[in-house]
A and B are shown apart, each in its own frame.
Chain A
Amino acid sequence: MRSSKLNFPFTAIVGQEKMKLALVLNAINPKLSGVLIRGEKGTAKSTAVRSLAVLLPNLHVVKDCPFHCDPYDIHKMCFECREKVRQNVNLEAEERQTRVINLPVNATEDRVVGTLDLEHAIKRGEKRFEPGVLADANRGILYVDEVNLLDDHIVDVLLDSAAMGVNSIEREGVSYTHPAEFILVGTMNPEEGELRPQLLDRFGLCVNIEGISDAEQRVEVVKRWVAFEEDPDAFIKEWQTAEADLRTKIVHAREILPEVEISDEVLNKIAQISIEIGVDGHRADIIMMKTAKTVAALHQRPVVTFEDLEESADMALQHRVRRKPFEDIVLDRERIASVLRQNVSVTK
């Protein structure tokens, strides 16, 4: 399903390399559990997310299934689809682009988790479920602009589904469950308040972005944007090769990702970095490892190097560093680098 509005090409976005990298990594490996983009207004956050979807390879989905189940994976199917498989009904498959589902900040709980239509039930005596945003987002990208302004109980619901990969609705003794696995991409402006640490931790990666300060690049931003506005089709055509290149890269990376190996030395350093920096829990370690692997896959390398780790460490640690009163939340890159350096000298 292609939206009628044309998207600014991902590769044509000037600068913001970290953000682009984080998004591409998530496109390669959905297990990275999302990106949180912290930064000012007007820094191409939304543009990047929307144009990422165009880059993603197409999905196979069960036709007419509201949850877009994968017709070839029975473990992650919704109840109805699985019943059909069990009764040997053939599931009609179709190919479709990955979708970006927008979760508006003022969304109600009903809209997010879906509703059991009780009125229908009471009049007709049968249950009917109306899918919500989480159903739409299954196997897609869930994009939450201004995630820090989201209502607390909606955040709880999101957390729960993101963690379990399942959304369950319970009303008046009726319950309904469906799969809800999605790449969670959130943006926030830290000036408007921080996110709860619990939710922060659920985002696999985090990048801080700011407006570009280099005058030349700024001019380039405006130039490209004007060119796109004037004639989107021509502009997109112009960037076609770059887009195709990146898409191939993503597809290749996805293919080799399962084979990427990581040595014990690198794993050891990951643990050391976590201990040195001081993070809560083990999620940082796991994400760091997954990110490093994905970076290696992106570079078409079968073995994770220390450079890959260095490239990924700050994205995974940024938002997990413990903070004390009157201390800045700045991540000490130097400390990470020094742990890595120790590592290199030891291995030599």
Chain B
Amino acid sequence: MKTANAKRREASGRVIYPFTAIVGQEQLLLALLLNAINPSLSGVLVRGEKGTAKSTAVRALADLLPDVEVVADCPFGCHPRDKGRMCLSCRERLSGRAELKTEQRKVQVINLPIGATEDRVVGSIDFEHALREGQKRIETGILASANRNILYVDEVNLLDDHIVDLLLDTAVTGINIIEREGISFAHPAEFALVGTMNPEEGELRPQLLDRFGLCVSIESIPDAESRVMVIKRREEFDSDPPGFSQKWARRQESLRTRIRRARELLPRTFIPEKTRAFIAQICLLNQVDGHRADIYIEKTAKTIAAFNHRLVPTLEDLSQAAALVLPHRSRRTDLPKKTLEDFHRMLAEELAREEGHSSERQRSDDEDSSPVQVDADQMVTDEDSEFEEGDGASSSKATGDTSDLNAPDSAARLEPGTDSEMLGNQGEVDGQRCRDRLFGVGETFRVPPLLLDRDRNVRKKSGRRMPTKTLRKTGRYVRSTAERRNDDLAFDATIRAAAPHQKNRVRRDVAIAIEESDIREKVREMKAGSLMLFVVDASGSMGTRLMTETKAAMISLLLDAYQKRDKVALVTFKGDSAEVLLPPTNSIDLAKKLLEDLPAGGKTPLGHGLLKAHELLINHLRRDSQTTPLMVLISDGEANVGIRHDRTYEGPGYSALLDELFEIAKMIREDKRIKTLVIDTEEKRFSVFRNASTSPSMAQRVARSMGASYCKIEDFRAGGLVRAVKEQVH
């Protein structure tokens, strides 16, 4: 049976850019190769900017993958001897003493398209067969093809939520269970998950993140010479793809050989008991959740060793493994990735120095073989290097001895120093520029649930804020309807509707005769996200403490938005204008970064800010009329710059400024699609000068004329937001 992917590759019939011809990106290439050698590493997540050969590398990997032995006629490609992981039919045949025919086939890269429906992913009933023969048969889905292969998801962060749930479910158990449309079926589905993503487009859920064994972040190459190489090779490939692959064929072949040898060697690799202490040390330092990280570091280090023709991983192998396994598991969010890498390096260096005088010879060996050069030219030469079993073993014995003594010490020494350095840096960044100040981010907190009403509107977007009906052909199939809307046929319901009438109908070539009146369609449901627009006062009146607290409040809201799959947008105002800092996006990460870098200073053009925000929302609603945007204004409301430049607003003119402001606010109130919330950042020491009940603060007055919910920034922490939103909804 041909898998869908094989068919597709045939259909497209194009030449793939050779793996060995990719310039630089050693870590990415290494991570992919390791998965080709050892499938139990469960895949790679590739994070990086656009245009950095992410997808190219994954697609190129397909050409290098080794052969595996499979049951010849099994749609799941079962292992012919591993009874525990067989599908039902293979197992029955095996226990029935039937001879299982086997064959060799390549490990494949199975593509999971972003738009794939649930049926296509898990499999469903084969309706063609059902109609012609009147029999039930399973049409297997992508997960079936992915068994014992690599499942590749391009732009994995854009995958619909319910598909992610399916993937997670299967990844945990290694079994795909189909329980739908009157069929019940289970089959093995163990795969390495390879995903690429651009963090600018939004982050991944932590559970999904953890499923990826390794994680690589890549950037473009900063060095001019390599960049030229990139351009040259690409052009050469584009102008003559077959010729180009021909040219690289020898390198591809030798890399394939190297992978095959590494696979043979892998079962014999081992980690000495004492080296495990080092691994544990790294994991502790990184504050990882659970023990998956430890296990993966060990597995990865072994695979790297095998790749380099060694039986025992060296220190360098270990720290390379750590760099691949830890980035997405470390909870040290206070430290940037670079610093962590330095930690590992320093730890390793420290250990290496200790062990240095123990064996002079061993260090020279390290220099020969330790850096895993995935550079194409290197690979060819490396292949000829000798087998260094004995040396490797002695080196790690030395490692084990010293790690016990040194590792805890060095870890303790490193931590506090770097922490304080971090804070220092943050305070200084942008210090000089236009005398704006940059404020740190206060402690974040959990936002009380901010649920909007479930509604009856039909939506196209997905998210998690509200359950909603959708007309798109993705989303969970909840029930069927006889109403015709979008040709999204519900096969099971249609058959059921047709069944009672079969006796009286004329059948032509089909087992079941179906008429117009039997057709049922699927009603699907998905959770819709909304848009959260932050309108942030970045003027001078937002003092240090306030700005810090404001940022904390916003980052907490952002976190909430992230979990609900909302879009966020950011408008700030200061000086004499407002600016859209971030157009509506799914990337909470980007929003967070922008916020952290947000300088404050100057006057308060509140009117500009509101106008800009309104304009942005109107534009967004024009494109997507189905979201309910929530506008969050964070300000003390003390506007002092008017809209019109030809007017003075000083002294007696001040009332004109207020009139203007309230007019804009009214305009926003009149647009019923927009919900608003004002977070008042007025400092307490000012509010004591007036009677809170009789004279409201400026922000409060703005909120009133905008018809917005209102809360003080202090209350926000204490759950005032829930009350605020509830008031607004009812």
Question: Which A residues lie at the B interface, using CB under 8 A?
Answer: 31, 74-79, 82, 109-110, 113, 115, 117-119, 121-127, 148-153, 156-157, 160, 163-166, 168, 170-173, 175, 177-179, 192-194, 196-198, 201, 258, 262, 264, 267-268, 270-272, 274-275, 279-286, 289-290, 324-326
**Complex-state Cα separation, A274 to B225, whole angstroms:** 12
CB pair B510 A166 closer than 8 Å: no
**Complex-state Cα separation, A171 to B488, whole angstroms:** 9
Q: How far is the CB of B591 from chain A (nearest CB, A)?
A: 11
CB pair B128 A125 closer than 8 Å: yes
Q: How far is the CB of A232 from chain B (nearest CB, A)?
A: 34
Q: Is B712 an interface residue (CB 8 A)?
A: no
**Complex-state Cα separation, A283 to B8, whole angstroms:** 26
Q: What are 9 A-B pairs at a CB distance below 8 A?
A: A160-B114, A172-B117, A172-B489, A193-B619, A193-B623, A268-B224, A271-B227, A281-B49, A282-B231
- Contacts known (A119-B519, A124-B510); A270 close to B619, Cβ less than 8 A: no
Q: How far is the CB of B130 from chain A (nearest CB, A)?
A: 9
Q: Is B417 an interface residue (CB 8 A)?
A: no
CB pair A31 B238 closer than 8 Å: yes
- Contacts known (A160-B114, A163-B55, A173-B124); A285 close to B230, Cβ less than 8 A: yes
Please, which residues of chain A bring their CB within 8 A of the CB of B583?
193-194
CB pair A78 B11 closer than 8 Å: yes
Indicate which residue in A109, A281, A290 contacts B50 across the interface (CB closer than 8 Å): A281
The chain B residue with its CB closest to the CB of A173 is B139
Q: Is B216 an interface residue (CB 8 A)?
A: no
CB pair A285 B8 closer than 8 Å: no
**Complex-state Cα separation, A156 to B474, whole angstroms:** 14
**Complex-state Cα separation, A148 to B572, whole angstroms:** 22
A-B pairs with lowest CB-CB distance, top 4: A281-B51, A283-B51, A271-B227, A271-B224
**Complex-state Cα separation, A115 to B598, whole angstroms:** 47
Q: Is B366 an interface residue (CB 8 A)?
A: no
Indicate which residue in B115, B234, B487, B489 contacts A170 across the interface (CB closer than 8 Å): B115
CB pair B50 A197 closer than 8 Å: yes
**Complex-state Cα separation, A272 to B581, whole angstroms:** 29
Please, which residues of chain A bring their CB within 8 A of the CB of B691?
none
Q: Is B624 an interface residue (CB 8 A)?
A: yes
Q: Is B616 an interface residue (CB 8 A)?
A: yes
Q: Is B84 an interface residue (CB 8 A)?
A: no
Please, which residues of chain B bring their CB within 8 A of the CB of A179?
12
Please, which residues of chain A bring their CB within 8 A of the CB of B514?
122-123
The chain B residue with its CB closest to the CB of A74 is B13
CB pair B201 A175 closer than 8 Å: no
Indicate which residue in B51, B486, B572, B598 contacts A284 across the interface (CB closer than 8 Å): B51
- Contacts known (A151-B623, A193-B623, A197-B50); A170 close to B13, Cβ less than 8 A: no
CB pair A172 B472 closer than 8 Å: no
Please, which residues of chain A bring their CB within 8 A of the CB of B489?
118-119, 122, 172
CB pair A201 B51 closer than 8 Å: yes
**Complex-state Cα separation, A172 to B117, whole angstroms:** 7
Q: How far is the CB of B672 from chain A (nearest CB, A)?
A: 21
Secondary structure at chain B's binding surface: helix, strand, loop or mixed? mixed
- Contacts known (A119-B489, A280-B50, A281-B52); A286 close to B230, Cβ less than 8 A: yes
Please, which residues of chain A bring their CB within 8 A of the CB of B128?
121, 125-127
Q: Is B147 an interface residue (CB 8 A)?
A: no
**Contact flags B1-24 to A (C-beta < 8 A → 1, else 0):** 000100110011111000000000
CB pair B227 A197 closer than 8 Å: no
**Complex-state Cα separation, A156 to B156, whole angstroms:** 12
**Contact flags B23-55 to A (C-beta < 8 A → 1, else 0):** 000000000000000000000000011111101
CB pair B231 A286 closer than 8 Å: yes
Q: How far is the CB of B471 from chain A (nearest CB, A)?
A: 9
CB pair B49 A168 closer than 8 Å: no
Indicate which residue in A79, A172, A198, A275 contacts B222 across the interface (CB closer than 8 Å): A275
**Complex-state Cα separation, A118 to B495, whole angstroms:** 13
Please, which residues of chain A bring their CB within 8 A of the CB of B581?
325-326
CB pair B461 A152 closer than 8 Å: yes
CB pair A283 B50 closer than 8 Å: yes
The chain A residue with its CB closest to the CB of B460 is A151
CB pair A168 B113 closer than 8 Å: yes
CB pair B155 A192 closer than 8 Å: no
Interface-centre pick from B123, B230, B231, B510 (highest chain A CB count, 10 A): B231
Please, which residues of chain B bring their CB within 8 A of the CB of A156?
114-115, 155, 158
Question: Which B residues lie at the A interface, using CB under 8 A?
Answer: 4, 7-8, 11-15, 48-53, 55, 113-117, 119-120, 123-128, 131-132, 139, 141, 154-155, 158, 198, 200-201, 220-222, 224-225, 227-228, 230-232, 234-235, 238-239, 460-461, 472-473, 486-487, 489, 491, 494, 509-510, 514-515, 519, 572, 579, 581, 583-585, 594, 597-599, 616, 619-620, 622-624
Q: How far is the CB of B299 from chain A (nearest CB, A)?
A: 31
**Complex-state Cα separation, A285 to B584, whole angstroms:** 28
The chain A residue with its CB closest to the CB of B486 is A110
Please, which residues of chain B bring their CB within 8 A of the CB of A285?
227, 230-231
The chain A residue with its CB closest to the CB of B198 is A198
**Complex-state Cα separation, A152 to B599, whole angstroms:** 31
Please, which residues of chain A bring their CB within 8 A of the CB of B472?
109, 153
Q: How far is the CB of A161 from chain B (nearest CB, A)?
A: 11
**Complex-state Cα separation, A109 to B460, whole angstroms:** 10
- Contacts known (A160-B154, A281-B49); A271 close to B231, Cβ less than 8 A: yes
Q: How far is the CB of B640 from chain A (nearest CB, A)?
A: 20
CB pair B200 A198 closer than 8 Å: yes
The chain B residue with its CB closest to the CB of A123 is B514
**Complex-state Cα separation, A343 to B707, whole angstroms:** 61
Please, which residues of chain B bring their CB within 8 A of the CB of A148?
623
The chain B residue with its CB closest to the CB of A150 is B623
CB pair A280 B158 closer than 8 Å: no
The chain A residue with its CB closest to the CB of B462 is A153
Please, which residues of chain B bring their CB within 8 A of the CB of A78?
11
CB pair B235 A290 closer than 8 Å: yes
**Complex-state Cα separation, A123 to B598, whole angstroms:** 61
**Complex-state Cα separation, A117 to B488, whole angstroms:** 10
**Complex-state Cα separation, A289 to B230, whole angstroms:** 11
Please, which residues of chain A bring their CB within 8 A of the CB of B510?
124-125
> Given contacts A122-B494, A173-B119, A282-B52, could you give 8 more A-B pairs where the C-beta distance is less than 8 Å?
A125-B128, A151-B624, A165-B12, A171-B473, A193-B619, A267-B232, A274-B227, A281-B51
CB pair B14 A75 closer than 8 Å: yes
CB pair A172 B127 closer than 8 Å: yes
CB pair B599 A326 closer than 8 Å: yes
The chain A residue with its CB closest to the CB of B52 is A281
- Contacts known (A152-B461, A271-B227, A325-B594); A280 close to B115, Cβ less than 8 A: no
Please, which residues of chain A bring their CB within 8 A of the CB of B623?
148-151, 193
Indicate which residue in A119, A165, A196, A279 contacts B487 across the interface (CB closer than 8 Å): A119
Q: How far is the CB of B449 from chain A (nearest CB, A)?
A: 26
Q: How far is the CB of A343 from chain B (nearest CB, A)?
A: 12
Please, which residues of chain A bring their CB within 8 A of the CB of B599?
325-326
Q: How far is the CB of A148 from chain B (nearest CB, A)?
A: 8
CB pair B132 A125 closer than 8 Å: yes
Please, which residues of chain A bring their CB within 8 A of the CB of B51?
201, 280-284
CB pair A280 B49 closer than 8 Å: yes
**Complex-state Cα separation, A118 to B221, whole angstroms:** 48
**Complex-state Cα separation, A326 to B597, whole angstroms:** 10
**Complex-state Cα separation, A160 to B114, whole angstroms:** 9
**Complex-state Cα separation, A169 to B639, whole angstroms:** 54
Please, which residues of chain A bring their CB within 8 A of the CB of B15?
75
Q: How far is the CB of A124 from chain B (nearest CB, A)?
A: 7
**Complex-state Cα separation, A268 to B230, whole angstroms:** 11
Q: How far is the CB of B157 from chain A (nearest CB, A)?
A: 11
Please, which residues of chain A bring their CB within 8 A of the CB of B14?
75-76, 165
Please, which residues of chain B bring their CB within 8 A of the CB of A175?
4, 8, 120
**Complex-state Cα separation, A74 to B12, whole angstroms:** 10
Please, which residues of chain A bring their CB within 8 A of the CB of B584?
193
CB pair B228 A171 closer than 8 Å: no
Indicate which residue in A79, A127, A193 contacts B11 across the interface (CB closer than 8 Å): A79
Q: How far is the CB of B515 from chain A (nearest CB, A)?
A: 8
Q: How far is the CB of A2 from chain B (nearest CB, A)?
A: 31
